[in-house]
């Protein structure tokens, strides 16, 4: 075979290589197909382009220039065909607004319940085991249910406009969940054993331990021969169930318009100091009369605890504002 025949054969093989490579990349319909074609033609070790480059060494010197020029052209064409094919199969399809339903989706970031919601649900479950059912009421209340039925007369300082969120029309944002207890007793004869849980509002300056909106859980039990001993037993059992067997509870004399006698409830655990958790006492006879109960026939106790305070003490949180700043770094810990 003379020189011209050898050169012509080598160039013909390059033409065939170009045609085969272009066909392979054009027929590729998936990233896997494109990668297989790349390995076959452009692979670094055994690719057909690599083999064609090695053939250059065996050609006569006078044929190498012509063959090399054609080889570089074919190699560039196939590399461009590979990039085009890869972009084509990786481009999102225009179905469903540009979403390629054949690709695996991104795993969604799942949220979870707010720590206060978790605390509230745990308290509801806990008191449910003590026999208390859940009652709910409106957050916008009238003066009767928020004050008068709770033995808070018009001249009482608790009704001061600076201490409440009054609204037009003789209504206000409730300042305590005791209003729910009144509504329950209005429509249910004794025995009564309920808890009321929800938001309450007071115009307090916001700081690490105060907020103008917070959550309360209040319990009420009314029946024949209910005593202060029953109240103390329920609260001690609650404290041990929620905070641990080593918790200690103490009761300090206090005053609330709707209970008599009244006590402040303090709790201590893990060797720390005493922490005020809420107020409690025996339901005042005037409250029982306001809802149509006979205080000579029935008696009852009531208690109110701060949900934020319980959550803070249990988890070692020192600032109530963290609950409402929506910082996922904080909320994600629960």
DSSP string, 194-239: EEEEEEEE--PPPSSS--SEEEEEEEEEEETT--HHHHHHHHHHHH
Crossing angle of helices 48-55 and 31-42, rounded to 10°: 10
- DSSP 8-state code for residue 129: H
- Distance CA(70)–CA(11), nearest Å, equals 7
- Supply the pLDDT for residue 1: 44
Q: What is the CA radius of gyration of the chain?
A: 40
- Distance CA(24)–CA(81), nearest Å, equals 9
Return the residue matching tokens 């806990």: 126
Taking the whole predicted model, whether its pTM rises above 0.95 is answered as no
Determine contact, residues 7/69, Cβ cutoff 8 Å.
no
Determine contact, residues 311/334, Cβ cutoff 8 Å.
no
Mark 128-158 as b/e (b = at least 16 C-beta within 10 Å).
Answer: eeeebeebebeeebbbebbbbbbbbeeeeee
Determine contact, residues 10/65, Cβ cutoff 8 Å.
no
Element (H or E) spanning 151, and its range?
A: none
- Supply the pLDDT for residue 282: 96
Determine contact, residues 282/303, Cβ cutoff 8 Å.
no
- Indicate if the alpha-carbon torsion angle 99, 101, 103, 107 is positive or negative: positive
Per-residue pLDDT tens digits of the chain, which is 334 residues long: 455 677 788 888 888 889 998 999 999 888 888 999 888 888 887 888 888 888 878 788 878 888 888 889 988 999 999 999 988 887 655 455 566 667 777 888 888 899 999 999 999 999 999 999 999 999 999 999 999 999 999 999 999 999 999 999 989 999 999 999 999 999 999 999 999 999 999 999 999 888 999 999 999 999 999 999 999 999 999 988 888 888 888 999 999 999 999 999 988 876 677 888 889 999 999 999 999 999 999 999 999 999 998 898 888 888 999 999 989 889 888 8
**How many secondary structure helices (H) and strands (E) does the chain include?**
11, 10
- Distance CA(272)–CA(314), nearest Å, equals 12
- Distance CA(115)–CA(20), nearest Å, equals 64
């Amino acid at each position: 075979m003379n020189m011209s025949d050898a050169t012509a054969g080598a160039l013909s093989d390059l033409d065939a290589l170009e045609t085969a490579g272009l066909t392979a990349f054009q027929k590729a319909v998936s990233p896997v197909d494109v990668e297989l074609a790349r390995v076959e033609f452009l692979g670094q070790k055994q690719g057909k382009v690599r083999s064609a480059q090695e053939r250059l060494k065996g050609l006569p010197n006078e044929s190498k220039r012509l063959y090399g020029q054609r080889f570089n052209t074919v190699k560039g064409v196939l590399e461009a065909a590979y990039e085009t094919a890869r972009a084509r199969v990786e481009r999102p399809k225009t179905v469903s607004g540009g979403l390629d339903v054949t690709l695996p989706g991104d795993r969604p970031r799942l949220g979870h319940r707010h720590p206060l919601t978790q605390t509230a649900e745990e308290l509801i479950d806990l008191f449910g085991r003590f026999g208390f059912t859940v009652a709910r009421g409106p957050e916008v209340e009238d003066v009767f249910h928020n004050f008068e039925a709770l033995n808070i007369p018009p001249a009482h300082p608790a009704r001061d406009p600076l201490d409440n969120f009054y609204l037009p029309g003789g209504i206000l944002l409730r300042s305590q969940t005791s209003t729910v207890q009144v509504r329950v007793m209005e429509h249910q004869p004794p025995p009564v054993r309920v808890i009321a849980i929800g938001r309450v509002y007071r115009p307090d300056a916001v700081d690490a331990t105060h907020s103008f909106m917070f959550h309360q859980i209040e319990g009420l039990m009314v029946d024949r021969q209910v005593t202060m001993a029953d109240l103390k037993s329920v609260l001690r059992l609650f404290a041990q169930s929620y905070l641990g067997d080593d918790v200690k509870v103490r009761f300090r004399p206090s005053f609330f318009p709707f209970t008599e006698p009244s006590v402040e409830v303090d709790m201590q655990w893990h060797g720390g100091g005493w922490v005020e958790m809420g107020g409690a006492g025996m339901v005042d006879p005037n409250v029982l009369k306001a809802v149509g109960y006979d205080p000579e026939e029935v008696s009852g106790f009531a208690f109110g605890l701060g949900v934020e305070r319980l959550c803070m003490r249990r988890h070692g949180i020192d600032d109530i504002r963290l609950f409402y700043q929506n910082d996922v770094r904080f909320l994600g810990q629960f």
